[in-house]
């Protein structure tokens, strides 16, 4: 990717770059690509952190060469080099991705892809994704073909700022200071920056808000330059100590490289998306990279020979282009072949072809240009910025056309938000009538009130419950909170307590005692909380957390029984069992050309056997809790939503489901009659 001065014998013939650094780039890009291909390498995403450390080391080494040459640091020359090195390949990938995305991108994420692409061209993709996306590992993020460009924006922002930081450290030592003294002064300044950045990164990774205006600190920690700067700084500090690195003995270098390789393997296998990242654990891949660079600073050994092999160098040379192209290929393969894991692996591998072409016909010729003028470089920059913006604007316009087609209109109806979201009936105090006046649906001369409570799996019942209750003469109030089951438990998502959920349950229970409704309808995705590994449950703040599905099912039954006892003291409860789940399907992921030409091909299926196996523990837990509370009853919808051996999301031209875990508005309304019957049977007279 970059050039740097000679630091060791580990180099290519006729080149001023370290060959083992190219091998490290090969490891970094392979980690990321294997992870994105869905292969069993849970920590592969840490390959991005490897790139950050390498960039800090290489860029600092380059800048030090200029600073110690006696001619000073030529910032203009540095920024022009970055333009020629980074922008042409990025612009080519962006324009190509925008063009393919018109037909191959999921229709539900085309607008997000367009705005992410525009933000990428303006070097702020990380900021846009922090503000707009639910998170790098969140469902839906995997269908944005420009998601991976957040790291490029972080790197570009580093290039803007870091040379000035290094120059400041250099000048603080004084004009008469020797080179070593200046290095020490710069190192102190960068070390302070590293410490501050690392502290902020760790605090925010664990949801501690340190900066004003940060609404999602963990997401900020993942995407933001200030929380990633320490990784570049670590590489920079190693470069500043380059003089001493060359004094290492061969055995010390081999030991450092061996330990670094072991740590890299541990990072790839032990870190996963459920951990708070970057956080403290990010030090492992960062330290691994530093040690591998140290290992390559002395005489050749088996590690540097491996990293300097022809294959490793070949991949490392093309790592930038491969990183750019692989993720759009993965997204398009996932949209076009949603049930084929092999297609994603093949797409990841085939993305090396445009990466090779980019290196051969774009990156190498531009790098080989002798003495390019400032004007020509600035024109190149303008083309590389404006071209992708126009292309992604075209994607936005294409989406406007596609969503107007008949198939897209039908799918759009299925994807419309449920009324609890439209009227903002979510929140920790969603049942407070003063805060949520629009979340009540009254009728004249009402027989009483029906309450609908729970998470998003209660929200998708809002339309049929309102319709049924009003038809039966009841007022209706709706209060939901996404990812919050209405149960007397402490919910931990990836190890972080959902405190808003506890506040929601406490507030709603207090309001129930005041209102004394005729019926409470309770619905949660209990199957997800019990079966998915990202959630842990605890009955008290000091209790041992339940991790396994069997333990969580037991704790769930106890917590639900406690909640039902509290609620039934005020009103009878109708508990709705979790609906059938299509675990590998979502309507919004359907490729645009399918929506346009054959919307029925967007449909998914699962088997009733799979549905029942997934729900078994959850249903049994709920039945056990209800059995202990005489004023509670259950409503089972699985036989209606999946009456045959094969469960279908599309029935008689109606999209029953909007994604794998939620009903569509039209699909939910088909249940109005069932809710009315159950309501009249269970409600207080």
User: What pLDDT digit, counting tens, does each position of 340-374 carry?
Assistant: 899 999 999 999 999 999 999 999 999 888 888 99
Helix (H) or strand (E) run with residue 529 in it: helix 526-531
Condensed to tens digits (0 to 9), the pLDDT of residues 234-264 reads 999 999 987 777 778 888 899 999 999 999 9
What's the residue count for the chain?
A: 685
Tell me where in the chain the CATH 3.40.50.1110 domain(s) lie: 418-682
> Under a CB-based contact definition with an 8 Å cutoff, are residues 591 and 399 in contact?
no
Condensed to tens digits (0 to 9), the pLDDT of residues 616-646 reads 999 999 999 999 999 999 999 999 999 999 9
Compute the half-sphere exposure of residue 466: CA atoms within 13 Å on the CB side of its CA: 19
Q: How sure is the predictor about 541, in pLDDT bands with cuts at 50, 70 and 90?
A: confident
Given the structure tokens 């967007």, which residue do they identify? 602
- The mean predicted confidence, pLDDT, of the chain is 90
Residue 167 is predicted with a pLDDT of 92
Q: Minimum mean pLDDT among 144-153, 390-399, 483-492, 574-583: which range? A: 483-492
Residue 461 is predicted with a pLDDT of 98
Residue 540 is predicted with a pLDDT of 76
Given the structure tokens 């990836």, which residue do they identify? 494
Instruction: Give dist(CA 416, CA 167) in Å, integer.
Output: 54
> Under a CB-based contact definition with an 8 Å cutoff, are residues 486 and 524 in contact?
yes
Mean of the pLDDT values across residues 416-440?
82
* Among candidate residues 182, 577, 604, 620, the one with its CA nearest the CA of residue 414: 604
Instruction: Give dist(CA 333, CA 318) in Å, integer.
Output: 22
Q: How far is CA 454 from CA 116, 451, 594, 596, 632, in A?
A: 33, 10, 34, 36, 16
DSSP state at residue 215? S
Residue 98 is predicted with a pLDDT of 98
SS3 call for 538: strand
| 531 pLDDT higher than 90 | yes
Helix (H) or strand (E) run with residue 475 in it: strand 475-480
- Hey, CA dihedral for 33, 36, 39, 42, is it positive or negative? positive
* Among candidate residues 322, 127, 307, 344, the one with its CA nearest the CA of residue 227: 127
Residue 176 is predicted with a pLDDT of 65
Q: How far is CA 24 from the centre of its chain?
A: 25
Instruction: Give dist(CA 512, CA 570) in Å, integer.
Output: 7
State the pTM of this model.
0.85
Instruction: Write down the CATH superfamily of domain 418-682.
Output: SGNH hydrolase (3.40.50.1110)
DSSP state at residue 354? H
Condensed to tens digits (0 to 9), the pLDDT of residues 587-599 reads 888 899 998 888 9
CB burial of residue 176 (10 Å; 0-12, 13-18, 19+):
exposed
DSSP state at residue 446? -
CB atoms near residue 365 (< 10 Å):
10
């Amino acid at each position: 990717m970059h050039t740097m001065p000679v630091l060791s014998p580990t180099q290519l013939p006729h080149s001023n770059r370290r060959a083992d650094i190219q091998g490290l780039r090969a490891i970094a890009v392979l980690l990321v690509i294997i992870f994105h291909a869905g292969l069993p390498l849970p920590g592969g995403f840490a390959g991005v952190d490897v790139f950050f450390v390498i960039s800090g080391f290489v860029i600092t080494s380059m800048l030090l060469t200029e600073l110690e040459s006696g001619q000073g640091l030529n910032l203009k020359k540095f920024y022009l080099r970055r333009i020629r090195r980074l922008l042409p390949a990025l612009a080519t990938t962006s324009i190509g991705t925008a063009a393919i995305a018109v037909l191959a991108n999921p229709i539900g994420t085309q607008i997000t892809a367009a705005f992410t692409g525009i933000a990428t061209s303006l070097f702020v993709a990380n900021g846009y994704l922090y503000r707009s996306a639910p998170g790098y590992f969140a469902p839906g993020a995997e269908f944005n073909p420009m998601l991976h460009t957040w790291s490029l924006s972080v790197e570009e922002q580093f290039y803007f700022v870091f040379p000035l930081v290094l120059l400041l450290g250099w000048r603080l030592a004084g004009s008469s200071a020797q080179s070593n003294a200046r290095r020490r002064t710069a190192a102190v300044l960068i070390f302070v920056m590293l410490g501050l950045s690392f502290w902020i990164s760790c605090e925010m990774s664990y949801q501690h808000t340190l900066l004003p205006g940060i609404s999602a600190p963990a997401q900020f920690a993942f995407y933001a330059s200030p929380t990633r700067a320490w990784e570049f700084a670590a590489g920079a500090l190693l470069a500043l100590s380059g003089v001493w690195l060359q004094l290492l003995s061969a055995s010390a270098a081999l030991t450092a490289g061996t330990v670094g390789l072991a740590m890299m393997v541990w990072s790839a296998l032990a870190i996963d998306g459920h951990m708070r990242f970057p956080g403290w654990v990010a030090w492992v891949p960062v330290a691994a990279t530093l040690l591998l660079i140290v290992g390559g600073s002395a005489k050749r050994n088996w590690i540097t020979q491996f990293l300097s092999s022809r294959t490793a160098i070949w991949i490392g040379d093309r790592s930038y282009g491969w990183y750019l192209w692989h993720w759009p290929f993965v997204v398009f393969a996932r949209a076009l072949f949603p049930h084929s894991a092999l297609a994603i692996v093949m797409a990841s591998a085939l993305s090396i072809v445009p990466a090779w072409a980019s290196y051969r016909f774009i990156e190498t010729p531009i790098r080989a240009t002798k003495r390019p003028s400032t004007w020509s470089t600035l024109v190149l920059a303008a083309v590389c910025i404006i071209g992708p913006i126009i292309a992604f604007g075209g994607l936005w316009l294409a989406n406007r056309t596609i969503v107007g087609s008949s198939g897209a209109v039908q799918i759009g109806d299925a994807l419309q938000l449920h009324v609890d979201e439209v009227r903002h009936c979510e929140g920790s105090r969603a049942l407070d009538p003063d805060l949520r006046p629009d979340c009540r649906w009254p009728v004249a001369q009402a027989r009483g009130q029906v309450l609908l409570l729970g998470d998003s799996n209660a929200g998708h019942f809002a339309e049929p419950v309102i319709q049924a209750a009003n038809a039966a003469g009841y007022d209706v109030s709706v209060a939901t909170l996404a990812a919050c089951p209405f149960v007397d438990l402490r919910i931990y998502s990836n190890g972080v307590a959902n405190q808003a959920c506890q506040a929601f349950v406490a507030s709603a229970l207090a309001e129930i005692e005041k209102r004394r409704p005729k019926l409470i309808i309770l619905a949660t995705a209990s199957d997800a909380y019990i079966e998915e590994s990202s959630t842990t449950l605890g009955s008290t703040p000091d209790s041992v957390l339940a991790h396994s599905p069997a333990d969580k099912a037991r704790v769930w039954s106890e917590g639900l029984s406690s909640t039902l006892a509290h609620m039934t003291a005020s009103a009878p409860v109708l508990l709705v069992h979790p609906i059938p789940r299509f675990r590998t399907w979502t309507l919004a992921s359907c490729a645009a050309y399918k929506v346009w030409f054959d919307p029925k091909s967007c449909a998914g299926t699962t088997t009733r056997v799979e549905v029942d196996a997934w729900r078994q523990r959850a249903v049994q837990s709920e039945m056990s809790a209800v059995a202990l509370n005489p004023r509670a009853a259950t409503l089972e919808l699985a036989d209606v939503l999946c009456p045959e051996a094969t469960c279908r999301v599309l029935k008689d031209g109606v999209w029953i489901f909007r994604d794998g875990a939620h009903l569509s508005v039209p699909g939910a309304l088909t249940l109005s009659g069932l809710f009315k019957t159950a309501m009249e049977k269970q409600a207080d007279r």
